[in-house]
Structure 1
Amino acid sequence: MKKDVKLYNMILPPFMLFFFVPTLWIVSAVGNFIIDSIVLLIISIFIYKKFTWQLYKKSIISVFLFGFLSDFLGVLYLMAISIGSGAEYYEGNDIGKQILSGIYLATNHSCYDSIYGVLFIVSGILFSSIFIFAFNYRVSFKNKGLSKKQKIIASLTMAIITAPYTFLLPKELFYP
């Protein structure tokens, strides 16, 4: 008797490439550092009303490391939900199955195939942004001579501008 053999799609969604392609870590780290530097310098101009290296020098390393960690946590969040949902493609009008299908489509095809796929990926971006804000507010900008309002503005600006929007890139850009 012959066994049925199923071949499953082993192509990873772009946000999971981070784990399996170490060279992406370097490219991602350099890109994150450049973006963090630009945003931090702009923030310091608005906080001090003039260009100064003071805030940049005191906080760039922690801003960069915690930003990178936050992106990594966003990837873990998306992976956990993707794997934990046992997502596969369903047809029908059941809202629960449509959400699972959206997660499946977002992780195996393109997040743009379903509104639920887009929402799933956006939730990962928001998850990372919350950590970016929290780490910057609680650690990176602590004891840097900033008022509470300035810390909130600086942390919120970093969270919004440096969020991992690359999660929204379609898989087709990575796999022709």
Structure 2
Amino acid sequence: RGVASAAGLSLSPDSLVASDSRHLDALFVCGAQPAGEASLQEVASNPALLAWLKRLAERGVMLGGISTGTRELARAGLLDGYRATIHWQRAESFRRDFPQVNVSHQLYELDRDRVTCGGGTAAMDMMMTLIAQQHGRALAEKVSEHFVCERIRLADEPQHVPLKNRFAHAPQPLVEAVTLMEANIE
């Protein structure tokens, strides 16, 4: 059966999740940025997915989380003791829900056989870095050029651009109002 994304895109799988995973070297769990916590909780109710992820980890498959996909790896206990990141708007609740994970605010984290990113274009930067590590910088640069990426960002570049940079010419009351809203985003 098909699955609809938050953007309304419908995807139909070619096979069942666990049907033929013995040839996997890596698997990335992609998550959306749902509007509320309720939609995050709905995903958590799939014990078959979490069990499958655990079996893949036992086999040594590299596991990645993109945006809120990182939350699924943590729910399965697969990020305990690892450095991981998630979209900056979800970082504090993620840190609270999974204290055993070393949460960072980096664009992406590559920690042994676990890779995570904040989503959006950070996923592209993370993938270009993985391509460079496994196949060389020249190939990563060619792939990046194909996607018209100006450059491959480093992991330690910030996810969130400070307000003073985004609103350099805005009136101070506007900057203060947006600062207050961001501080209470959840």
The normalised TM-score by structure 2 is 0.26
Q: Which has the larger radius of gyration?
A: 1
- Higher strand fraction (1 or 2): 2
Larger RCO (CA under 8 A, 6+ residues apart):
1
- Higher helix fraction (1 or 2): 1
The normalised TM-score by structure 1 is 0.26
